[in-house]
Amino acid sequence: MKTILITGAAGNIGDKLRQHFQGHYKMRLLDIDPRGDSEIHQADLSIWNESWSDYFQGVDTVIHMAADPKPDQTWNKVIGPNIDSVINVLSASVQNNVNRFIFASSNHVMGGYKDVHLSEKISTDIPPLPGTHFVRNGQPCDSIAYGSAKLMGERMGKCFSDAHGISFVAVRIGLVQRYENRSDDIPRDRESWFRLMWISNSDLCQLMERCIHADPAIKFAVINGMSNNTGMRWDIEYARQLIGYEPIDDSMQG
């Protein structure tokens, strides 16, 4: 039975994975705020400390979900949780001979394409364009800092993979709502850009499990993580080919 360490285990996606993996893997769980859960160890990953790095001993795969999840967060708020923590968790993984590092990247790495017409789908081969412009509560927002920090995380993974040989897989995750995350619960006033990047709970968990068991020879890869949504602009063919991802849900059928 593999030992999986999940950072950000008390968060939206971290909790979904934890529930799905229960009984299938040995799990170690870290979060800056365990929210009263005794199975989750408190750790501020933006500050190096042996008290949390010791949990990486004997771990096969790290799933790094920990971050400030607000897409419109400012630069000064993403530096610690979204950049420094990636460096520290990668360092702890390398020091403890972790085989695979799965990084929760984001669709916001490519968010600049939201208002750009492309003749091709958004694949991981085309140049990154961080930052999505959107409206929240009637106010214009953008995710430039958040998306750029996620891109930096991908590049740090490439550096650590090249330098230390750790297998690094970044997943540019689409829209994941809290709790049941049903497509018919997506507010109808959400722009199609967001609706068409939805990924269901079951597809999300399948995707992460495929990443865990993917070919050990993969040293660095970036894949898109969406469900099989009719009419979406995102290309998930590479994820199918590389790790055998087979999404079954469709936001336009909900």
pLDDT reported for residue 254: 65
Angle between helix axes 201-213 and 12-21 (nearest 10 degrees) is 70
Reading the chain (254 residues) residue by residue, the pLDDT tens digits are 999 999 999 999 999 999 999 999 999 999 999 999 999 999 999 999 999 999 999 999 999 999 999 999 999 999 999 999 999 999 999 999 999 999 999 999 999 999 999 999 999 999 999 999 998 888 999 999 999 999 999 999 999 999 999 999 999 999 999 999 999 998 776 778 999 999 999 999 999 999 999 999 999 999 999 999 999 999 999 999 999 999 999 999 86
For the beta carbon of residue 72, count every other beta carbon within 10 angstroms.
16
Closest CA to 86 of 10, 184, 170, 175: 170
The CA distance from 47 to 64, in Å, is: 15
Q: Which pLDDT value is given to residue 189?
A: 64
Query: Cα-flanking dihedrals φ and ψ of residue 50, to 5°?
Result: -65, -25
Residue linked to tokens 């970044």 = 170
Structure-token match 């091709």, residue found: 120
Cα→Cα distances 23→18, 65, 174, 179, 212, Å: 10, 20, 27, 20, 15
Spell out the residues 6+ positions from residue 69 whose beta carbon is closer than 8 angstroms to its own: 11, 12
Residue ranges per structural domain of the chain: 3-253
Rounded Cα distance, 5 and 61, in Å = 6
The span from the CA of 97 to the CA of 223, in Å, is 24
The tokens describing 154, both together, are 């991908």
Q: Domain 3-253 falls in which CATH fold?
A: Rossmann fold (3.40.50)
Burial of residue 188 (number of CB atoms within 10 Å: 0-12, 13-18, 19+):
exposed
